[in-house]
């Protein structure tokens, strides 16, 4: 095999491997490398040297990932995935353990389930048995405010 044929085989192997990885992971990560390998293969067909092909591969990969990241972030920006418990926001619930946010203590019963609770007003302590309003849920924390 000549050097050009070896390089062509390398680009085809990278292209196919990246496509296979992309199909198996469905993460839109390796597709940019597949596109870049295809562009490098086109550059080879047009007579570009190995250095130029590698530069094209690197630049195309970087541009693809950067553009995708920007587009993806803008589409996901401020999009909150709702949960079943989001329907309880704004409702009132009972404190089952005194809520002292600064001390990291407190719990509230939400529809029979006990949630670790924090007061949105961190300095205020809410006593057990008090009624609170659910303001938001972040992860496994219920943020409440006194009534």
Range of the domain at 19: 3-76
* Domain closes at, from 76, 95, 118: 76
- Provide CB contacts within 8 A for 58, sequence distance 6+: 36
Residues 127 and 94 in one domain: yes
CB 99 within 8 A of CB 71: no
Domain boundary among 45, 76, 107: 76
Of the residues 53, 76, 99, the one at which a domain ends: 76
CATH of the domain at 111: 2.40.50.140
Residue % of the chain over a pLDDT of 70: 91
What is the total count of domains within the chain?
2
Cβ contacts of residue 136 below 8 Å, gap of 6+? 89, 143
Report, as an integer, the average pLDDT of 43-50.
93
Same domain for 115 and 131: yes
Q: Is residue 116 over pLDDT 90? A: yes
Rounded to whole angstroms, how far apart are CA atoms 66 and 79? 21
Does residue 64 sit in the same domain as residue 90?
Answer: no
Output the pTM of the full model. Answer: 0.51
Determine whether 41 is exposed, middle or buried from the number of CB atoms within 10 Å of its CB (0-12, 13-18, 19+): buried
Q: Are residues 52 and 89 in the same domain?
A: no
What's the maximum distance between 2 C-alpha atoms anywhere in the chain? 82
User: Contact 142/101 with Cβ under 8 angstroms?
Assistant: no
Same-domain status, 70 and 91? no
* HSE-CB of 33 using CA atoms within 13 angstroms: 17
Q: For the chain, give the percent of residues with pLDDT over 90.
A: 62
């Amino acid at each position: 095999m000549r050097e050009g044929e070896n390089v062509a085989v390398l680009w085809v192997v990278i292209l196919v491997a990246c496509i296979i990885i992309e199909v198996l992971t469905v993460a839109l990560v390796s597709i940019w490398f597949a596109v870049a390998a295809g562009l490098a293969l086109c550059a080879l067909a047009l007579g570009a040297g190995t250095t130029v092909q590698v530069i094209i591969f690197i630049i195309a990969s970087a541009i693809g990932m950067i553009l995708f990241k920007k587009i993806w972030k803008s589409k996901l920006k401020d999009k909150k995935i709702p949960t079943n418990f989001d329907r309880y926001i704004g409702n009132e619930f009972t404190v089952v353990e005194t809520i002292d946010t600064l001390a990291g203590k407190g719990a509230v019963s939400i529809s029979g389930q006990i949630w670790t609770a924090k007061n949105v007003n961190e300095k205020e302590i809410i006593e057990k048995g008090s009624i609170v309003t659910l303001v938001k849920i972040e992860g496994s924390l219920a943020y409440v405010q006194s009534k």
